[in-house]
């Protein structure tokens, strides 16, 4: 019963959803500048991340550094 109510509510919300106005071409560059992270906000991307825990362990042991494990569940293109 609960899932039926949830599905009904989702269907109702989807039916009444209104699309946002499209972004005008002359506004796009300004919006992109505001949305894109600054160099200070994107510093995690400068880290040499390893995709192999074993390789990360070997490098961490060699350099005397800790390991940060960043793990997500779900589909890689839409983590849940």
- What pLDDT is recorded for position 61? 96
Q: Is residue 57 helix, strand or coil?
A: helix
Task: Report domain extents, the chain.
Answer: 40-80
Q: What would the pLDDT profile of 1-14 be if each residue is shown by its tens digit? A: 667 667 676 676 66
Integer angstrom CA distances of residue 14 from 5, 17, 19:
14, 5, 11
Q: What would the pLDDT profile of 11-53 be if each residue is shown by its tens digit? A: 766 666 677 788 888 888 898 888 888 878 878 788 888 889 9
Task: Measure CA 73 to chain center.
Answer: 12
Exposed / middle / buried, residue 59 (Cβ in 10 Å: 0-12, 13-18, 19+): middle
């Amino acid at each position: 019963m609960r899932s039926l109510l949830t599905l009904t509510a989702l269907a109702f919300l989807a039916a009444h959803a209104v699309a946002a106005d499209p972004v005008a071409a002359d506004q796009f560059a300004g919006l992109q500048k505001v949305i894109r992270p600054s160099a200070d906000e994107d510093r995690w991307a400068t880290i040499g991340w390893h995709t192999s825990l074993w390789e990360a362990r070997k490098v961490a042991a060699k350099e005397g550094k800790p390991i940060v494990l960043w793990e997500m569940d779900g589909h890689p293109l839409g983590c849940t």
